[in-house]
């Protein structure tokens, strides 16, 4: 018994590997492996190495007696009185009990008798009273049972072999003829001559039922006549099954190994990535760095801060501040230095795509170098090498577009308040200037109050108002700048981090998507090696 579970499971893994190989463009290798999988899958009977045979026949024909005779000991209870209350029973080599356990569970056989019979080591015999009837409701069981076991041995006796209902049923089993066996039991009740006649007759009827070359034994469970020949034949059948199984397993294993080699795997070693993990990480790192240079999250951060400041000054700045914002907008300086969205859209102008593309290409080429030359071209295609440049351009376009669409310049309730205060300061300034002009024009004829300031002494009121308004405006500008740069710095840091993370994730996931896909397929192929 080879490792890795029953043949069916291993064949299922081979089928998955076939599909995986096709995604790598390994069509020819996949087709060859699929043919093997199909051939192995077509094999009917029990999936393991044990030759499993069930006894069938009407109640009282001697199923239990024949099993006991074959075993050379009392395994199953023999009952002269009918109807019987027999429970299903399995007779199996002690060391093979585990292998057929799932089958027994499925058949609800909980009574297992183990044996250490060397010559019938590979044989398991099932005595299933449920299938001894040929009544309609039991046929389905035989029909579902047959594909799962290697043979069904029908036992008849001198009274029952002629039963028309039995023959009707056998005809329906004709498609499984090569896995049907027949035992004519209780031969001790017949003379030599009668045995010959009955055997010839039964054989002819079986042929008529559609079972050519029927395997028929004439035995007596009571005297042991013919039992040895039956044992020999069972041992041969079990041996033949082992040989066929071994051949199928060898074919399966070779097909899996060929797929593996085509995908650059060493069948002895199992899965190993095409690119060493450290190399892969280094190349991903290079590509991410290249993409970060192009997208430039730091530059985006600066633009965000400038944009916030510009908006704050536009809404809450001094008159001069507002005028200069308008001027900057008009001359295009805002667009150049304070427009993160435009800056994102211009990633191409900040360098060649090669900074991202080259590490990605290097990864693909180095990975492809690990597979045999005849699969290399197809693998490069599967890796997405021809489209790498377009793909990366799309990846960076998407990242920058997403970042741009999620960007929104903040507003603050404080800015218009500061703006209103600036208007007041401006009005005071105009008022003070007008006052001074009036004083000048009147030649000092208008009386003017004054404020006493320490050190400076009495200062004329209009001058005091003028100085106060200028001071107020400067303080307001300072406050606005303080608040706007706080808001701008925080937003810039957030956007910078978010953009950098998006670039990193996109390059890792999409830039190297081809390689990840190929590795996933290679893992599945490696799974078929077990
Ligand atoms: N004469 C004779 N009787 C047998 C032979 N085999 C079984 N019997 C008898 O047939 C009856 C039913 O046998 P059993 O093995 O319980 O049949 P099952 O119902 O098919 O399992 C019992 O009385 C057995 O003694 C045989 O080879 N010769
Ligand atoms: Mg019985």
37 and 67 co-located in one domain:
no
Ligand 1 nearest-atom number relative to CA 68: 15
CATH number at residue 166: 3.40.50.300
Q: Each residue of 320-330: pLDDT tens digit?
A: 888 888 998 88
Give the tens place of pLDDT for each residue, 190-211. 999 999 999 999 999 999 999 9
Q: Given ligand 1 and candidates 70, 78, 128, which is best to mutate, with the most ligand atoms within 8 Å of its CB?
A: 78
Range of the domain at 181: 51-225
Identify the three-state secondary structure at position 270.
Answer: strand
Nearest to 316 by CA among 408, 424, 430, 407: 424
Residue nearest to atom 3 of ligand 1 (CA): 186
> Using CA atoms, how far apart are residues 442 and 460, in angstroms rounded to an integer?
16
471: in domain: no
Q: Is 227 in the pocket of ligand 1 (CB under 6 A)?
A: no
Average confidence score pLDDT of the chain: 89
Specify if 239 maps to a domain.
Answer: yes
**399 with 295: CB under 8 angstroms?**
yes
Closest CA to 319 of 424, 468, 467, 463: 424
132 pLDDT above the threshold of 70: no
Residue nearest to atom 26 of ligand 1 (CA): 186
Q: Is 302 in the pocket of ligand 1 (CB under 6 A)?
A: no
DSSP annotation string for 278-342: HHHHHHHHHHHHHHHHHH-HHHHHHHHHHHHHHHHHHHHS-HHHHHHHHHHHHHTHHHHHS-HHH
When pLDDT is averaged across residues 427-450 and rounded to a whole number, the result is: 90
User: Same structural domain for residues 56 and 164?
Assistant: yes
Q: Estimate the crossing angle of helix 461-506 against helix 297-316, to 10 degrees.
A: 150
Find the 204 Cα to ligand 2 centroid distance in Å.
28
| Residue 427 forms part of a structural domain | no
Same domain, 196 and 218: yes
**Total structural domains within the chain:** 3
From the CA of 58, the nearest ligand is 1
The number of CA neighbours under 13 Å toward the Cβ of 389 is: 4
- In the reported structure, the alpha carbon of residue 77 is separated from the centroid of ligand 2 by a whole-number distance in angstroms of 6
Q: Which of 509, 523, 30, 26 has the alpha carbon at shortest distance from 272? A: 523
Does the residue 317 lie in any domain? yes
Same domain, 109 and 65: yes
> Do 97 and 129 fall within a single domain?
yes
- Give the Å distances, CA to CA, from 13 to 1, 10, 140, 247, 321: 18, 5, 30, 18, 73
What is the Cα–Cα distance from 262 to 114, expressed in whole angstroms? 46
Nearest residue CA, atom 28 of ligand 1?
A: 186
Q: Closest Cα to atom 6, ligand 1: which residue? A: 62
213-250 residue pLDDT tens: 999 999 999 999 999 999 999 999 999 998 888 888 89
Ligand found nearest the CA of 157:
1
pTM: 0.68
Contact in structure between 514 and 287 (CB atoms under 8 Å):
no
* Residue 339 φ then ψ, to 5°: -135, 85
Asked whether 87 lines ligand 1 (CB < 6 A), one says: no
How would residue 406 be classed by pLDDT, with cut points 50, 70 and 90? confident
Long-range contacts of 165-169 (CB under 8 A, 24+ apart): 165/134, 166/58, 166/134, 167/205, 167/209, 169/134, 169/139
Locate 262 and state its tokens. Answer: 């085509």
Is 450 a member of any domain?
no
Q: Does residue 336 or residue 13 have the better pLDDT?
A: 13
Q: Are residues 194 and 76 in the same domain?
A: yes
Q: Is the CB of 64 under 6 A from ligand 1?
A: yes
Q: What is the C-alpha separation between 218 and 200, in angstroms, rounded?
A: 11
Candidates 70, 217, 221: which one to mutate for ligand 1, based on the most atoms within 8 Å of Cβ?
221
Q: How far is the CA of 153 from the centre of ligand 1 (A)?
A: 16
Residue 497 lies in a domain: yes
Ligand 1, atom 16, residue with closest C-alpha: 78
Is residue 219 situated within a structural domain? yes
- The sign of the dihedral angle between the CA atoms of 200, 206, 207, 211 is negative
Give the mutation target among 56, 57, 62 for probing the ligand 1 site: most ligand atoms within 8 A of CB. Answer: 62
Atom of ligand 1 nearest to the CA of 155: 20
215 & 319 share domain: no
Strands 123-127 and 89-93, bridge-based pairing: antiparallel
64 and 140 assigned to the same domain: yes
Q: Rounded CA gap, 189 and 414, in Å?
A: 115
Instruction: Assess whether 123 and 28 both reside in one domain.
Output: no
C-beta atoms surrounding 276 within 10 Å:
12
**Residue 150 is encoded by which pair of tokens?**
């290697």
Using one digit for the tens of pLDDT, what is the confidence trace for 37-63?
Answer: 998 877 767 777 899 999 988 888 999
| Domain membership flag for residue 473 | no
| Of residues 256 and 146, more confidently modeled | 256
The number of the ligand nearest the C-alpha atom of 67 reads 1
DSSP 511: I
What DSSP string runs through 5-72?
A: S-HHHHHHHHHHHHHHHHHTT-HHHHHHHHHHHHHHHH--S-SSSSEEEEEE-STTSSHHHHHHHHHT
Between the CA of 55 and the centroid of ligand 2 the distance, in Å, is 10
């Amino acid at each position: 018994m080879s490792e890795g579970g029953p043949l069916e499971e291993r064949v299922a893994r081979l089928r998955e590997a076939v599909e995986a190989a096709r995604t790598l463009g390994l069509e020819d290798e996949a087709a060859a492996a699929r043919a093997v999988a199909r051939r192995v899958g077509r094999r009917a009977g029990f999936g393991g190495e044990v030759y499993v045979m069930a006894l069938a026949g009407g109640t009282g024909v001697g199923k239990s007696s024949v099993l006991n005779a074959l075993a050379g000991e009392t395994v199953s209870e023999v009952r002269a009185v009918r109807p019987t209350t027999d429970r299903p029973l399995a007779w199996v080599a002690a060391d093979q009990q585990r292998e057929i356990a799932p089958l027994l569970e499925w058949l609800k056989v909980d009574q297992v008798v183990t044996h250490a019979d060397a010559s019938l080591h590979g044989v398991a015999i099932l005595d299933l009273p449920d299938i001894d009837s040929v009544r309609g409701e039991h046929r389905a069981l035989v029909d579902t049972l047959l594909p799962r076991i290697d043979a069904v041995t029908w036992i008849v006796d001198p009274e029952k072999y002629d039963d028309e209902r039995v023959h009707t049923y056998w005809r329906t089993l004709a498609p499984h003829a090569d896995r049907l066996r027949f035992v004519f039991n209780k031969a001790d009740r017949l003379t030599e001559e009668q045995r010959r006649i009955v055997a010839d007759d039964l054989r002819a009827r079986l042929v008529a039922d559609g079972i050519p070359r029927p395997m028929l034994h004439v035995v007596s469970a009571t005297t042991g006549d013919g039992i040895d020949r039956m044992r020999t034949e069972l041992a041969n059948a079990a041996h033949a099954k082992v040989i066929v199984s071994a051949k199928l397993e060898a074919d399966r294993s070779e097909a899996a190994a060929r797929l593996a080699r085509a995908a650059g795997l060493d069948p002895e070693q199992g899965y190993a990535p095409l690119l060493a993990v450290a190399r892969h990480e280094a190349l991903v790192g290079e590509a991410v760095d290249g993409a970060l240079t192009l997208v430039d999250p730091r530059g985006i951060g600066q633009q965000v801060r400038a944009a916030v400041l510009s908006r704050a000054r536009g809404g809450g700045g001094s008159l001069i501040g507002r005028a200069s914002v308008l001027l900057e907008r008009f001359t295009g300086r805002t667009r150049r230095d304070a427009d993160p969205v435009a800056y994102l859209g211009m990633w191409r102008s900040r360098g060649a795509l090669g900074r991202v593309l080259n590490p990605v290409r290097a990864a693909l080429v180095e990975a492809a170098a690990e597979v045999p030359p005849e699969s290399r071209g197809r693998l490069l295609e599967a890796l997405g090498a021809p489209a790498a440049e377009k793909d990366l351009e799309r990846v960076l376009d998407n990242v920058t577009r997403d970042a741009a669409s999620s960007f929104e310049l903040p507003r603050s309730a404080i800015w218009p308040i500061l703006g209103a205060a600036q208007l007041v300061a401006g009005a005071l300034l105009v008022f003070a200037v007008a006052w001074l002009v009036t004083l000048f024009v009147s030649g000092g004829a208008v009386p003017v109050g004054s404020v006493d300031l320490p050190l400076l002494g009495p200062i004329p009121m209009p001058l005091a108002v003028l100085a106060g308004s200028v001071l107020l405006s400067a303080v307001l500008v300072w406050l606005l700048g303080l608040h706007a740069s706080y808001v701008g710095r925080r937003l810039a840091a957030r956007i910078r981090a978010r953009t950098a993370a998006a670039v990193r994730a996109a390059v890792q996931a999409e830039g190297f998507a081809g390689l990840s896909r190929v590795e996933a397929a290679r893992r599945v192929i490696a799974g078929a090696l077990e």
